[in-house]
Every structure is written in structure tokens, then in C-alpha cells.
Chains A and B, each alone.
Chain A
Amino acid sequence: MTHPSDTGPAPVLALKDISKSFGAVRALKNVSLELFPGQVHALAGENGAGKSTLIKTLAGVHRPDAGQVLLDGEPVVFHGPGDARDAGIAVIYQEPTLFPDLSIAENIFMGRRPRRALGRIDHKATREATAGLMRRLGVELDPDRPARGLSIADQQIVEIAKALSFDARVLIMDEPTAALTGSEVARLFGVVRTLREQGAAVLFISHRLEEIFEICERVTTLRDGARIASEPLQGMGEDDLVRRMVGRDLEALYPKQDVTPGEVALSVRRLTREGVFTDVSFEVRRGEIVGLAGLVGAGRTEVARAVFGVDRWDAGEVEVDGRGLTNGAPSAAMAAGLALVPEDRRAQGLVMDMSIERNIGLTGLRTTVRAGLMDRGAERSRSLDWAVRLQVKYARIADAVSTLSGGNQQKVVLAKWLATGPKVLIVDEPTRGIDVGTKAEVHRLLSQLAADGVAVLMISSDLPEILGMADRVLVMHEGRLTAEIPRSDATEETVMAAATGRVA
């Protein structure tokens, strides 16, 4: 028996009182969920609330310990992801995994390409079928293009097309927008609306609340493995949703303190890396948070990398506290008081297999030393101290950072760099892919650091974050700095105009 619902049609896919435990942990406790055709349903919850487990249960990766999965009202048991796919359920992940050397069409029809006589592959049919799928999605992508070099947004489109080619009726999108720019998100939403009109049921997961409100009709909120609410979004505010997710009122998401800027701490003059960015000049003062906005690919991350010394620059100069930095030398930048929390925490920010203790310790190899040897006691107390100060949630300090949630991993990266006592802190997408609660903590931390006299340069693609946190907004477009907007004048419109190259 399914619950009577307020919408007309019966649910395509429903979970009824699903429970799932891993060892002693109950990841899901009696969770129910109904997905209706032609409806986009949001799944909200902090990291660790059970969203991934729920998705994996729907996708046939996990088998529930108790409860039922109902397909068109009939109980079904998925013995693996293949079963779920055959039942018309497709999952689009945040970072698709395509075969880079195969074309878009080959990726979509991998392993089941149309055949001609004698088992020969019918290239023409493959291509035409792909073009047909793209038309259905209202997207222009050449079926013959190799997957290598496609943006993440395009790769997701290919995955969606692939799902359609399996006649998917239920599409689960797991944080699809985390790595997309504003215009890419808009296009993806266009595709989602098209699918909705064609009668697909969509389950949409995102940390960006405004996206949930934009594209979804209903929302189910999970907290600690239990369903808190399942309700229409109409009439709800972001605050209501956040309260359901975290179970308490959240202090302001952007707790920016007013600070009078001090002396110039970071000075970048006419910095150029050929073909990447050109003639970039700016200053960041002590106590200031300067936002660096722009579209993905505008050269923001590349400027940060060059300033820190991971990449070399071709012309220009960088000074920290009036002292020039050596080109291409991160160790010199560190010694001068510069710290960079990089964009990709898994590949650049952390050594995933190393312990929390040693990851934080990596920036202290020059300081936690006695007579040329590692001072293990000093290393441990330094790491513990910062892990505690940033409220990293871990079981043991000797556990690998890979065992932590994304938000806690990001805190470890911050701990690692704050432990160096930086004068200038560059953070690149500091809250990407982390939950609302942790995001607010990171913002409070950045605000506190600025108040303590640290100069903060914050790169972010999250426009509300830039507007909420920055004293000043620098905007890059195609490798050049196109605008500098004081906090009072910074709005979505002014920043986006500069980011897209339109003169404001």
C-alpha cells in the first residue's frame, strides 16, 4: 500500500520504510520516499545524513536491511546496479566517468552499439541515435567528438543522454551542479525541465539551496539517517529548509565582520602567464577579504597557483609584506607567510592515504624538527591543536583523511595552512561540495582570520558567497582583471556583467 498523495499519478518509484546499517551504524532508519513522473524532487540533508546511502539503495548498489523498494507499486529487489538500470533508474554523478578516447556516441552506446549484418558495428546508426538523444535534450553536441576535453557540464549531458538511451524513467542527479558555472547550470536546468515535461521523475541533490528552490517541486529532508519531512517547496523559505537539515537555527551563513583594512600584505603587479592570464594587478590588505569572481576558466585559479609558486609566471612580480617572491617556489612563498588552500582538496590539498596528523604536519616539516629529526611530539600536538580548533570530526588523529567527510577534509586543509600562521591566505573554492553547517563554520573562520589581521583572497564560483563575504570583489574575464567592485556596489548583476565581459 502506498500512501495517498496530493498529486494525481501513482509514484514510479517509492521507498517504503527502508533501513540500512553498516556495522553498528544505522545509515537509514525507516525512510520512505516517493518519486512521481513529471516531478523534480529534492533530497536535502547535511553530509552524513544518509543521502548517499539512499541514492545507492535506489540505484541497486546497496540492498536494504528492511523495507521495500516499489516500482510502479510492485515490490522489487535489485541485485545490483544492472537491475536498477534495467528497471529504468539512472544515476548522474557529480563527476561523470566517460572513456576519454571514445566519441560521445561510442560512450553512450558502449557495449550495445547498433549492428549491421555479420555483426559489424553500424556507425551511422550510432551517430543518428545520439543526435536524436541530443535533440530530445535540446542540446547541441557533436556525436563524433571525443569525450576527452569535454567540460564536466558536457560530460553530464552525455551521461543523461546515455540514461535516456536506456529508457530511464527515474533520473537521480547527485550534486550535478557542484562543478558547473552559472550558465552551465542554467543549461542543465533546461535539460531537467525538458525531461520533466517528457514525464521523467527526477531526484535532485544539491548543497546549493537556491537551486533546490529553482528547479524542484518537493523536498525530502534527511537528518541522521531519518526522514525529517517530505513536503512541497512552495511557501517554504531557505531558512525553513536549513532548519530541517541541521535541526537548529543556523547563525547567518555569511557572518562578515566589519574590519578596517590595514597595510598592504599581498601585492601582485602586472602578473602574466602567457596564454593563461595577462597583466593582472591587485592588492590585498591586512584584515580584508577580497573576493575573486569570474567564470570557470577565467584564470582565477591559475593566478592563485602562480602567486603561490606552483606554476611559474612569465612577467610581473608578487610581494608579500613588501618582500618579492621567487618565481615558481612554493617553499619561498610559504616562508614569506603565504598559504594556499587549493581548489581540489582531494588531489592538491591532501595526501588522502596519510593520517590527519601527518597531513596537517606536512606544512610544519621545517618547524616541528629537533636536531634535524622529526619531533613527533611537537608534530602531534600541533596537528591536534589545529584539528580541535577547527572542530574537525574524526575518530582518531592517526586515521587517514580519506575516512573523513568532505567538509571535515576541507577543515583539515584549512588547519594545515592556518597552522603555518599565514599573513596572506588564498582560498580557492573554500566551500565547494560541503554542507551548509560546515560552510557557515568556514565563513565564520575566514571572517575571524580577517579580523585578526590576515589578508584573505577568496576565489569562489558561488556568487552569494562572494557577495556575502568579500569587502571588495575582483572580477576576471578571459585571463584579465575586468573589474574591481567595492562591497557596497557588488550585486549579482554587476559581478556577472564583468565576469561575462559585458561592460557594466
Chain B
Amino acid sequence: MADFSATSLARAVRWDTVVGALLVVVLLFSFGFADGFGNSLNLSFLIGNTLPIALIALPMTLLVVSGEIDLSVASTAGLSGAVMGALWNQGMAIETIIPLCLVLGAVCGLANGLLVTRLGLPSLAVTIGTLAAYRGIAQIVLGSDAVTDFPGQYLDFAAGRLGDSFLPRAFPPFLVLLGIAVVVLHATPFGRSLFAIGASEEAARFAGIRVKRHKLLLFVATGFMASLTGVFWALHYASARYDNATGLELSVVAAVLLGGIDFDGGRGTLGGAIAGVFLLGALQNVMSLLNVSAQSQIVVTGVLLVVSVLGPRLARRIAVARAGRRAAAAPVSEASAPTS
């Protein structure tokens, strides 16, 4: 990364640094002042409850960077959990069920993607529609049943901890997925194209970037990850119900925006998004420990969302003003510096 100049680095990470620093502050505060925060059971709860949000935040970050959004993710997760439960009740082997659910999720994402790229509909509207539709199908599939008797080793994997540590057993696989997502977004031509598409779709098209194909792929990946999350959710809480993960899309979007991903696309880093996810998770956890009422927690989350949309914009305005001043000052260094 030697060729990564100090300024471009500073500009790229300004808001994520803020979020990262906030995360550290919240963690330090929590370890110091919130009784019970630091014990390994609570920490494993915190991480375990945050993992579903983090998993979906990975593809969601890429999607928002490209200027699109998918609000149907929680419903896709619920649908894949419901299908998993229904098929398990039918006596199908779990080894067959899980891949089927993942394919189903990819198909859900494909449907979103086709509606957006082929028909040119806005993704916000499309996925609000499929949010309802996928959840409805989930209810049709499983009714009001709750399926809980999944095989022990799967439940252990989803809910257990790594040895004596507070880390969930699912954490290392998550780190692998995170690594893949970071590389894809920040180090491949594909990721570079996403930033261009999000910043200016037309200019990207004129540069020969296959905009629709990129977006379609992202929607499929998002559906896939949403259903993976649905499977994880059902096993983690040992309960497959049609209403699993209801409302999760808001947490994901809130966390991603909090992490500095610009809602208009073209800006942000995955590191920031993941810091945003864990910041939200830690805040909710510590507020519960401090007996902050559920209503107040919602207020705090709401305020954070507004701050998250406002913060990066302010940070950027400052950065632009600085760059402008620098650019304006540039010619002077060449000319015979006039002083008054």
C-alpha cells in the first residue's frame, strides 16, 4: 500500500475513522461502566446477535455503493428459514435442505435484480414490494409453526462458542466472508466499477462498464447472503418461523449508512460499514444492560441514523473545501508567488 498517498487515505477513511473511534469509545465505556458487559457470555450474545446484521451488511454495502438497495433481505432470510423448517418437517436431509435454501435466496435476489435492471424500476420500490411478497410466501409455506428440532451439531455450530472464548463458532467463517467482501470491493476491477457506477452510472456506461450485469450479480449475491443469514438465524435461535428476522433490513441499512456508505452511492468502505454494524450492536447491548427502556433505545437508534446520514456529508464538505483551497492554491506555486 506504499502507493496509497497519505491524503487519499485520509480522505477515504475520514468518516470510517470516526465510526471506528466511536466504536472503541463505546466499548471502553461499556467495559468500564456497564456491569456484566465484559463477561464472555454477554460478549458472545453481543456478537451472535450482531452476526446476522453483519452477514447481510457485506453484500448490502456493495449494493449501496453501486447506488441500489435491497429492503427484502429480512424477508428473504425469513423465507429461507421457513422453507428450511418445512422441508425438515417433510423429513428431507439437512445437507440437502441448506443448499436448496441458498439457491432459493439467490433466486429471490435474481427476481429483484431482473425487476431493477430489465424493467428499470427503482430498487427501493421493487424491494419494498418483494419485502412483503417474500414474507407472505414464508407464511404460506410454514404457517404459524415453529420448527425447532434441527440436528444438534448444526445448532451447536450456530449457537456455540469457540472453546472457552467468547467468540461464536460462526465467527471465523464470517471473517473469511468479510475478507472476501473487502477484497472484492476494494481491490478488484469489479469493486472499482461499483464505485464508478454508484457515482455516475452514465459515465460508467460510457467507460464500457457493464452496469446492469454488475447490479444483477450484486442482487443475486445479496439474496444468497440473506438466505444464508436466514439459515444461520433459524439454527442460532433454534427456531424456524415465518417471521424470523422481521425488521432486520432496517438494522442493516442503518448500520451500513452509519458506517459512512453514501445512500446515493459511490462512496464508502467495508471497514466503515462493519464498524457501523458493531457500533449499533454494542450500543443496543449496553443500553439493555443499563436498563435503558426499549422506547429510549429506539430513539437513540433513530438519532444515530440521522447522524449517520448527516455526518459523512459534513465530513465530505470539509474535505471538498480543503481540496478546493489546495487546488486554488496550486497555480500560485508555479507563478511568481504574489504577496500583498
Contact = CB atoms under 8 A, between A and B. Distances in A.
Indicate, yes or no, whether A interacts with B.
Answer: yes
Interface of A: 19, 21-26, 29, 48, 224, 308, 310, 330-331, 333-334, 340, 342, 347-355, 358, 361-363, 365-366, 369, 372-374, 376-377, 380, 393-396, 398-400, 403-404, 416
B245 to A, nearest CB: 33
Residue in B4, B207, B210, B320 whose Cβ sees the most chain A Cβ within 10 Å = B207
Contact of A355 (B8, B205, B206, B324): B8
Contacts of A361: 192
Contact of A395 (B3, B202, B266, B327): B327
Contact of A347 (B4, B202, B266, B330): B202
Given A362-B196, A362-B203, A365-B209, 13 more contacts: A23-B328, A24-B332, A48-B331, A310-B205, A331-B209, A340-B206, A348-B202, A358-B196, A362-B192, A369-B189, A394-B330, A396-B5, A398-B7
Contact of A366 (B189, B195, B203, B337): B189
A40 B25 CA distance: 64
B335 interface: yes
A353 B187 contact: no
B329 interface: yes
9 contacts: A24-B329, A24-B332, A347-B200, A352-B200, A353-B199, A369-B189, A373-B183, A374-B187, A398-B8
A363 B8 CA distance: 21
Nearest to A224: B335
Contacts of B192: 358, 361-362, 365, 374
B206 A23 contact: no
Contact of A25 (B189, B210, B267, B331): B331
Given A24-B329, A380-B3, A354 B195 contact: yes
Interface of A is mostly: mixed
Interface in B7-25: 7-8
A395 B328 CA distance: 9
A331 B188 CA distance: 17
Interface in B221-273: 266-267
Given A351-B196, A353-B199, A396-B7, A365 B189 contact: yes
B193 A347 contact: no
B132 interface: no
Contact of B207 (A19, A22, A352, A362): A362
Contacts of B340: 19, 21, 26
A310 B208 CA distance: 8
B214 to A, nearest CB: 11
B118 interface: no
Give the interface size bracket for B toward A: 35 or more
Contacts of A349: 203, 206
Contact of A348 (B5, B203, B325): B203
Contacts of A396: 5, 7, 326
Contacts of A342: 206
Contacts of A347: 200, 202-203
Residue in B3, B189, B206, B327 whose Cβ sees the most chain A Cβ within 10 Å = B206
B208 A354 contact: no
B204 A351 contact: yes
B195 A372 contact: no
Contact of A374 (B188, B200, B325, B329): B188
Contacts of A340: 206
B203 A25 contact: no
A72 to B, nearest CB: 30
B120 interface: no
B338 interface: yes
**Which 3 residue pairs of A and B lie closest in terms of their CB atoms, listed nearest first?**
A395-B330, A365-B189, A403-B327
B323 interface: yes
B7 A351 contact: no
Contacts of A355: 8
Interface string B178-200: 00000100011100110110011
Contacts of B332: 24-25
Nearest to A365: B189
A403 B188 contact: no
Residue in B5, B208, B323, B340 whose Cβ sees the most chain A Cβ within 10 Å = B208
A355 B330 CA distance: 16
Residue in A25, A26, A333, A363 whose Cβ sees the most chain B Cβ within 10 Å = A25
Nearest to A361: B192
A21 B328 CA distance: 10
A141 B323 CA distance: 44
Given A22-B328, A26-B338, A400-B323, A351 B209 contact: no
